[in-house]
Each structure stands twice: as structure tokens, then as C-alpha cells.
Structure 1
């Protein structure tokens, strides 16, 4: 099976290299295509740096890895889309996005480029998983190997799930992970944005830790208790719950 490895932290992220290595160790044929530069917070954006609809990429050699790799002047959502349409050596059986520097939890995953790449794969009928390591704003050294240890546990299960399944995996940045749990999405993420008015028609977004109490069973609560969390996601789809009779129009 063929895996496309991408992320939103960029081609030079050690988390990307670790995820590619873990996928190869699981027996997958690996190709890497990741943004040339940092692309966090881009959600499923299909923006690219280029003209006339052309996406520029260059071959790269990654440390300790003998895989085809591309640095792409595009956001991870577009990279995932291109891969699922046959780019970067052919359509993958699975898209793995990460390992992200920082957790992607709660409904704030809407804004995550890491998750956006996985959800883009989903809408193109490709199985995917977003992987994130819960390193805080001023956290200790990232334990990439621990995140990939959990990836190697979860990946075989993912590949046995129905086609186009998408999972979000979050791993605490600790040596002794307590276990693996399915998790609900918290209302917000662990980090929220506060808007400060700095005058002269300008505002500033400041990232602060959420002060809401942790709800048992949610990804934020389980991560805080030292568990790795798995949440099955789905992309855009019709919600029939608010639908009601529409006014007759035109009369």
C-alpha cells in the first residue's frame, strides 16, 4: 500500500520525518510531499504560491530516509488534493498528516492544516489520519518517537477500517502514555485566540490557554490525563436536523 506523508509545519520538520519513517516501518510504500514553509492554521486551503494555476515543487532528500520527497509551494490541503488526484507518484491508499508540533483537539481542528489535509483526502475517497503531539506553547523537547510508537499501533487498525475513514490521533508528550482511548471533541481546543485592540485600525491575535474546565471523555481531558486519543472525523456533509418547510417562492 502507498502512503502520502504531509504536514503543515513544513518539509524541514522532524515530526514529518518521524512519521514517514514510522509508515515505512509498517510496510507502506512512502512518498513525502510537504509545504516548503510553515503553513499552520491553513485548514483545508487549496492556496498555492505560483502563477497560472501551477504548483511549484522540488525534490528533497530527507535525513535518514530513502523515499521520494517533495517540498511544495502550497498549503497541505492542496498537497493532499494533488496526491489524491494522482500527483507525487500516484494516488495513495492512505494520507498521513503530521506529526504536528502541538495538539489538534476540540472543534478548533477546523482551522488546522494538519487535519485539513486529512479531511481533504476523505472527500477524495482516500483513508487518512492526522497525527499531533501535545507539546505546549513553551513545552519540553518533542518526543517524536513516542508519537510514532502510537502511530505504529493505530495504523494497522486504520487500514482495516472502511475506505475514506479519517482519524485524528493526539499523543501526550510524555514517556509513559497511559493508554489509547476514543475521544469526543471538546468544545474548544487547549489553546484559544484572544483579540486585542492595539489601535490605528489594527487588532492582534494572542494565543492563550483555554480556561474552560475539562469535560470527561473529551480529547482535551484525556490528553491531560496522559492518554493518547483517537477521534473519527468526517468532512462536510448535509445536516438535516434544522430543516423545515420552506416558504413558497416564487408565489
Structure 2
């Protein structure tokens, strides 16, 4: 089986290499294609750098990894789309996105480029997994190997699930992980942006931890308790509409 490995932290992120190695150890054929530059917070954007209608990609080598790798001048959503349309040597069987530096929990995952790449794969009928490591704003060194362990535990099960399944995996940045739990999305993420100051020609945003306590059983709560969490995600769809009044127009 063939896997696309991408992320939103950029081609040089250690988390990307961790994810690629875990996929290889699970027996997958790997191609790496990740943004040439940091692309966090880009959601499922299909924007490319430049406006000439072409997406630049440069071959790269990654230490200890015998696989094709490309630094792409595009957001991860577009990279995922290109891969699913056969742009990196054939449509992948699975898209793996991460390992993200920082958790992606709560409904704020809507904004994550890491999750956006996974949801774009889902739209193209490809199974996907977004992986994030809960490293805080001023946290200790990332335990990338712990994230790799979690991926190796989850990936075989994911590949047995129905086609186009998409999961979000969050791993606590601790040595003694309590276990792995299915979790619902929290209402908010653990880290939020707020408007700090509004000037004449600019708005200043700051990033801070949420002061709200997450509800029990949610991804944010379980992660804080030392559990790795798995959350099934669903992208946009055409659900039947019934029981709603029809607006009268024209009057």
C-alpha cells in the first residue's frame, strides 16, 4: 500500500520524518510531499505559492529514509489534493499528516493545516490520519518517538477500516502514556487566539491557553489526563434535508 506523508510544519520538521519512518515500519510504500515553508493554520486551503498556475516542487533527501521526498510551494490541503489526483506518482491508499508540533483538539481543528490535509483526502475517497503531539507553547522537548509508537499502534487498524475513514490522533508529550481512548471533540481547543489590541491600521492577536475546563470524555480532557486520543472526523457532505420550513422567495 502507498502512503503520502505530509504536514503543515514544513518539510524540515522532525515530526514529518517520524511519521514517514513509522509508515515504512508498518510496511507501507512512502512518498513525502510537504510545504517548503511553515503552513500552520491553513486549514484545507488549496493555495499555492506564486500565481503562475504551476506548483513548484523540489526533490529532497531525508535522513535515514529511502523514499521520494518533495518540498512543495503549497499548503498541505493542496498537496493532499495533488497526491489524490496522482500528482506524486500514483494515487495513495492513505494520507498521513503530521506529526504536528502541538495538539489539534476541539472544534478548532477546523483551522489546522494538518487536519485539513486529512479531510481533503477524505473528500477524494482516500483514508487518512492526522497526527499531533501535545507540546505546549513553552513545553519541554518534543518526544517524537512516542508519537511514532502511537502511529505504529493505530495504523494497522486504520488500514482495516472502511475506505475514506479519517481519524485524528493526539499523543501526550509524556513518557508514561496512560493508554489510547476514543474521544469526542471538545467545544474549544486548548490553545486559542484572542484580540489583544485594535489599532488604527491593525489588529493584534495573541495566543493563550483556554481558561475553560474541557468536558469529560473529550479529546482535550483525556489528553490532559495523559491518554492518547482517537477521534473520527467527517468532512463536508450532502446530507438530506427534511423537516425544515422553506423560505418564501420571491414573496
TM tier relative to shorter chain = over 0.9
Deviation at 1:237, TM superposition (A): 1.9
The runs of 5 or more residues in structure 1 that have no matched partner are none
Other structure's SS at 1:186 match: coil
Task: Describe how 1:87-126 pairs up with structure 2 within 5 A.
Answer: 87-126=87-126
Deviations 1:138-174 (Å, cap 9, x if unpaired)? Answer: 1100000000101000001100000000000000000
The runs of 5 or more residues in structure 2 that have no matched partner are none
Please report the RMSD computed on the Cα atoms of aligned residues, expressed in angstroms.
1.3
Q: Distance in 1 between matches of 2:133 and 2:93?
A: 24
Q: Distance in 2 between matches of 1:17 and 1:40?
A: 17
Deviation at 1:239, TM superposition (A): 5.4
Aligned residue number for residue 78 of structure 2: 78
Aligned residue number for residue 5 of structure 1: 5
Q: For residues 122 and 224 of structure 1, do their structure 2 counterparts lie closer, same or farther at Cα, with a shift above 3 Å needed?
A: same
Aligned residue number for residue 236 of structure 2: 236
Task: Describe how 1:70-219 pairs up with structure 2 within 5 A.
Answer: 70-219=70-219
Give the aligned length. Answer: 251
Other structure's SS at 2:156 match: helix
Q: Distance in 2 between matches of 1:90 and 1:126?
A: 12
Deviation at 1:240, TM superposition (A): 5.5
Q: Distance in 2 between matches of 1:243 and 1:68?
A: 51
Aligned residue number for residue 225 of structure 1: 225
Q: Distance in 1 between matches of 2:151 and 2:101?
A: 15
Q: Distance in 2 between matches of 1:61 and 1:187?
A: 40
Q: Distance in 1 between matches of 2:11 and 2:156?
A: 25
Q: For residues 115 and 243 of structure 1, do their structure 2 counterparts lie closer, same or farther at Cα, with a shift above 3 Å needed?
A: farther
Other structure's SS at 2:87 match: coil
